[in-house]
Each structure stands twice: as C-alpha cells, then as structure tokens.
Amino acid sequence: MCGIVGYKGFKKASKILLDSVRRLEYRGYDSVGMAVLGESGIIVKKGAGNVDKVNNELFFEELEGSIGVAHTRWATTGEVNNVNSHPHLSNNNKICVVHNGIVENYQEIKKFLENKGFCFISQTDTEVIPNYVQYFIDNGESFEDAVKKTLRIIKGSFAVVIMSEDDGIIIGARRGSPLVLGIGFGEFFLASDVPAFSECTDKVVYLDDDEFAVLGDDYHIYDFNTGRENFKKINIINWSFEQAKKGEYEHFMLKEINEQGNTIKKAAEQSIELIREATDLINGACGVFLVGCGTSYHACVSASYIFSKIAKKHVNVLLASEFRNYEHFLSSNTLVIAVSQSGETADVIDAVSFAKKHGCRTLSIVNVMGSTLTRLCSLNIMMNAGPEICVLSTKSYTSQLAVLTLLAYSAVDKFKQAKKLLVDVAGKVNDLINNINDDLKLLAGKLKRVNDLFLIGRDLAYPSALEGALKIKEVSYIHAEGFAGAELKHGTMALIQDGVPVIALNTRGTNDLLVNNIMEVKARGAFVIGIDSRNNELYDFFIKVPGADIADPVLMIIPIQLLAYYLALAKNLNPDQPRNLAKSVTVK
C-alpha cells in the first residue's frame, strides 16, 4: 500500500521524485523518504510524517543528481518512525531500496545474513533486500544478477525499486504489487501508479508478476525467474495530469464527490457489444459470484438486489478475502465478477487467481486500465471514473453501481432502458449537491461530538447503509454501523438511547416497513435523520433526495459522502488522508 517511485534521466531527480510522491501520497503517508545518487554517492533523507511535513524539515530538493528513488509509506512491518522509513541501504551504503509489500520470509533471510556478518538497524522486512543484493555482489555477482537471485529467494507480494551506486542503474521488479514503467524522452520512471509521472509522459509499460525492468541508457524487461527478456507493449494513457489535481477544490474528496454527475454518465457510456459479451457470460454461467472488498463489496451487495429485481437472477456476493471457502462450488461453468477501483487489491487478485485455477471464467469491473486485475481477467469493463486520489472511494462507488446496473438490465435485453435511467440520474447529481450542501454542513456541526452513529435501510437502501457507515467511520473516526432496518431489534437496539443519531435511508418502496423501525428508535430517544424523497414527521432532520427507483442507491449515498466530508472538516481532520488507511490495499 506504499507508494514507490524511481527516476533515471537528465533532469534534477529530487524535484521529480518529490512531485511524484506527493501524487502517490494517497497510497500511504506515515513517513516519506528519498535517495539520490550524486557525486558523493547515494544520499538519503527520510522521516516520519506526511510529505510536506518531512520536506519542510529535510528539504528534499537540496539533493543533487539525476538518478534517484523515493517512497511514501503505509506501515506494515515495523512501527512508524524515522529509522523504519524508506529508502533502506545495504551495509556498504551502495545499494538502496524502496519497497511496497511484505517479505514473508524476512526473518529467515535476516538470520542468514546476520550469520554472515550483516547488521540491521530497522524493524522492517525491507532491509533484508539491499543487504541480500550486497551479499551476492560481495560473492562475485553483477548488480543485475544479484538482484535476480534476491528476487527469486524472497517470498510474498512486493514491488521494489533498487538503485546501485557503482552501476548507476535502477531496477524495478514486482510480484503481486503494482509497478509501472514510464518512458519519456531520454528519461525513465518507475512508480506504483501512473499519476506519479503522468505530467512527464503518457507512455507506460505495465510490468507483470515476476518481471523486472533494468533502467540504464535504455530499458530492458526480463523474467527474473528465467532471465528471458520480455518485449512489452507501450500503452498510451488517457488520463490527463489535470484530472489528478484538486483544481478549485480544497480537498480531493470534495472534488470527486462533485464529479459524480459526470462520472456516472461516463460509466453508463459503455459499448453495447462489450456489455452484451459480459451478459452472455452471466446468462451462460452456472453460478455467478460477485467479489470485492470494502466499498466495492457494498456495490456488489447492492447489485445482487438489482439482479434479483430486474433480471430475476440470483448472484452470489462474497468478500474477496473469503472467496476461497467456496472452492467446492467452482467449475468451468462458474463466472467470477471482480469489482475493484484500482485493480490492484491483493484479496481481489487472490480471489481471481484462485478462480482461474479452478477453470472459472472471469470478468472485471475496474477503473485502471493495465492494472493487474485487467491482465488476469478474460473480459474487462472500465468504470471510466478517471483518477480517484482521495483514500475514500466516492465516485468509483457510484460508477461501479452504474456498470452493475447496466449488466443487470442487459441480462434481460434492456440495455437502452438502463442507460437512459443512469443518464437521467447523473443529470440530477449537481442539483442534489447544491440543494443539500448547506444542510449537511449544519448537520455535521450537530454530530461532530457524537461517539456512535447508526444507519438503517431496507431493500436497496440496506447496502447504502453499509456503505454510508463505512464512509463516516473512515474519515471522521465516529463509530458508525449500517443495518437492515429490522435487524436493530436483534441486539443493537440496546445501544439506542437519548440523542443517539440514526440515519434512516428511506425509499418509496420501503417506506411502510422502515417507518416501523424509525418509530422503534424514536421511542428510545434517537435523533433521526431522514434521507428520503419525502419528509416525514418522524424525522428530526431531513435531507431530500430525488427518487430514482432501481437507481436509488446511486443518489442516496451522495448525501452521506458529503456528510462524512463535512464531519471531517468539523473535527479538523484531513478527509483525503484518514489515519491508518491507504487507497490501494496491496497486502492481504
């Protein structure tokens, strides 16, 4: 989940690397570091804190040289402190590494190297990598061969960028974690994600598992197990750098919430041939599984209701991390639909890989072309949401709902009807935001000091309650839980007392049943916030959302996204960088 970047070219590396880690900070912001190869060798600056904090203390751009690496960290092994920050050096200070992922056998390697006289100063698993490379070089291997041997030995999911002082070469490698090569004019970039260097080049090569790129005067890509050179396609990215900037907005979260009128429409603008190909897979399957994590999982839950209502079709919904428990139901007639914003979520990739081992057909709904998931799946549908930088998923969620709705309608030959529905819904987003914005600021002021908050909904509003609770706790750190309305009676009602906020997500189709649940919490003193197309005397606070029938989930989540944002501001928190979280979860 860390962000890694490397640069080799003719420009000042420290400026490019600093700009790059700022754009990768959504992947981790516990600490940051940079190493540049200059006339006096490799110089490292690093420390705990976010990019701007550490840069204000260490002045990264003072580093001179045209070759370097940088890192922004989300801690896995080792606490957050200056010593555990990346980059890490070998004992002789000639090999430098930045790393995303986990070296599962680092304790075994560390013990081996300690027996050979190597010393370790950090608590990280990463530090074994440069020292293992040094060990092989000390025993007569070239830098390139030493890296190959090291990569063959380490276990786990990783992406690394390794720099050699003696050779002036950078090597980037991956297994299970993302790494992209950018190709400029006389310069090369390696990064966890395209936005890191999108201002500098639009030409990228996506590395596959067990591949490493050697950056010298030119670039070469090899399989590090066989040593065979792989000749890869150069892709042209269609995301502009401007799309990845905040523009007039104070935070990416607010920008991305406000983009949804456009992104929902773009998600609906799918090729009818592609959607028909996907729905042929769905209709021809004996068993369909929707898998995702976090927000994407909630989109899958919502889609299961839509498939039932529109296509009269049962689909299974599973957390990607639990998918392996269903292996006895998998066959060549099974279809697994994997939903992920980044296409790099470790548990989703593991689920798809597991499905493929059992002969299953695979389809992805993803936002990043060229991501690992797109290369694993036999068919891919792009969400077309553009770069999503905020750690919290907002526009990607509604884009996922849009694509899944298209599939459900297309399964019964109603593609055009679904597209019209979604375009109509997209057209209501801007007015909705403008109409409720001030009310949600006011509501956030009322709720900023509460400890607990509950969301209830029935039918299509239930998955929205789950997603809404996730948004609130992710960014405001208020304990929030989402429930199917009737479930409060099965234990959670014990927590309802005077003043406890309960957000009721209500639709025309669920009104009669949900009103009963609202009366139950009101009788126990709850402060009820209604998100509904019509006001009700039971609501203590009312947010009006236009009714959209089967597309209700697309619109009703937007007020909660905004509420979560304003709660963060009311509590003086950074909504783009919630504590302990990172955008792309690339470890299991």
Instruction: Look at residue 391 in the predicted model and tell me its pLDDT.
Output: 83
For residue 229, what is the DSSP state? B
3-class DSSP state of 563 = helix
- Confidence class of residue 244 from pLDDT cuts 50, 70 and 90? low
**What is the chain's mean pLDDT, rounded?**
92
Instruction: Look at residue 388 in the predicted model and tell me its pLDDT.
Output: 85
Instruction: Look at residue 539 in the predicted model and tell me its pLDDT.
Output: 96
| Whether pLDDT at 73 is above 70 | yes
Distance CA 60, CA 22 (A): 12
The strand pair at 170-175 and 158-164 is best described as antiparallel
CB 421 within 8 A of CB 255: no
Catalytic residue at 473?
no
Distance CA 190, CA 96 (A): 15
Determine the average pLDDT of the residues in 355-373: 93
| Whether pLDDT at 324 is above 60 | yes
Q: Read off the pLDDT of residues 337-354 as tens digits, 9 standing for 90 and up.
A: 999 998 988 899 999 999
| Whether pLDDT at 565 is above 60 | yes
Higher-confidence residue of 489 and 357: namely: 357
Q: Which ranges constitute the DSSP H helices of 33-142?
A: 51-58, 106-115, 128-138
| Whether pLDDT at 333 is above 70 | yes
| Whether pLDDT at 440 is above 70 | yes
| Whether pLDDT at 536 is above 90 | yes
Instruction: Look at residue 497 in the predicted model and tell me its pLDDT.
Output: 86
Distance CA 123, CA 78 (A): 5
Which of 118-132, 239-253, 290-304 has the lowest average pLDDT?
Answer: 239-253
| Whether pLDDT at 240 is above 60 | no
Instruction: Look at residue 243 in the predicted model and tell me its pLDDT.
Output: 59
Percentage with pLDDT > 70 across the chain: 97
| Whether pLDDT at 241 is above 60 | no
pTM for the whole thing?
A: 0.79
Q: Tokens representing 67?
A: 């070759």
| Whether pLDDT at 306 is above 90 | yes
- Confidence class of residue 487 from pLDDT cuts 50, 70 and 90? confident
Determine the average pLDDT of the residues in 41-56: 92
- Confidence class of residue 2 from pLDDT cuts 50, 70 and 90? confident
Q: At what angle do helices 128-138 and 143-153 cross, to 10 degrees?
A: 130
Instruction: Look at residue 523 in the predicted model and tell me its pLDDT.
Output: 86
Determine the average pLDDT of the residues in 282-289: 96
Amino acid of residue 422: L
Candidate list 45, 428, 471, 583, residue with the active-site label: 583
Instruction: Look at residue 438 in the predicted model and tell me its pLDDT.
Output: 95
| Whether pLDDT at 583 is above 90 | no
- What Rg do the C-alpha atoms of the chain give, in angstroms? 25
- Give me the domains of the chain, ranges plus CATH numbers: 3-243 (3.60.20.10), 248-413 (3.40.50.10490), 437-575 (3.40.50.10490)
Give the per-residue SS3 of 280-346: HHHHHCCCEEEEECCHHHHHHHHHHHHHHHHHCCCCEEEEHHHHHHHHHHCCCCCEEEEEECCCCCH
Q: Tokens representing 391?
A: 């750690």
What stretches of 74-108 adopt beta strand conformation (E)? Answer: 88-89, 95-101
| Whether pLDDT at 239 is above 70 | no
Catalytic residue at 360?
no
Q: Tokens representing 477?
A: 């750190």
| Whether pLDDT at 588 is above 80 | no
Instruction: Look at residue 50 in the predicted model and tell me its pLDDT.
Output: 87
Which of 124-138, 306-320, 508-522 has the lowest average pLDDT?
Answer: 508-522
Instruction: Look at residue 586 in the predicted model and tell me its pLDDT.
Output: 52
Candidate list 2, 200, 377, 390, residue with the active-site label: 2
Instruction: Look at residue 27 in the predicted model and tell me its pLDDT.
Output: 76
| Whether pLDDT at 434 is above 90 | yes
Instruction: Look at residue 372 in the predicted model and tell me its pLDDT.
Output: 87
CB 401 within 8 A of CB 303: yes
174 bridge partner residues: 159, 211
| Whether pLDDT at 390 is above 80 | yes
Residue 160's H or E segment, with its range, is strand 158-164
Q: Read off the pLDDT of residues 176-202 as tens digits, 9 standing for 90 and up.
A: 888 999 999 999 999 988 888 888 998
- Confidence class of residue 148 from pLDDT cuts 50, 70 and 90? very high
The strand pair at 180-183 and 188-191 is best described as antiparallel
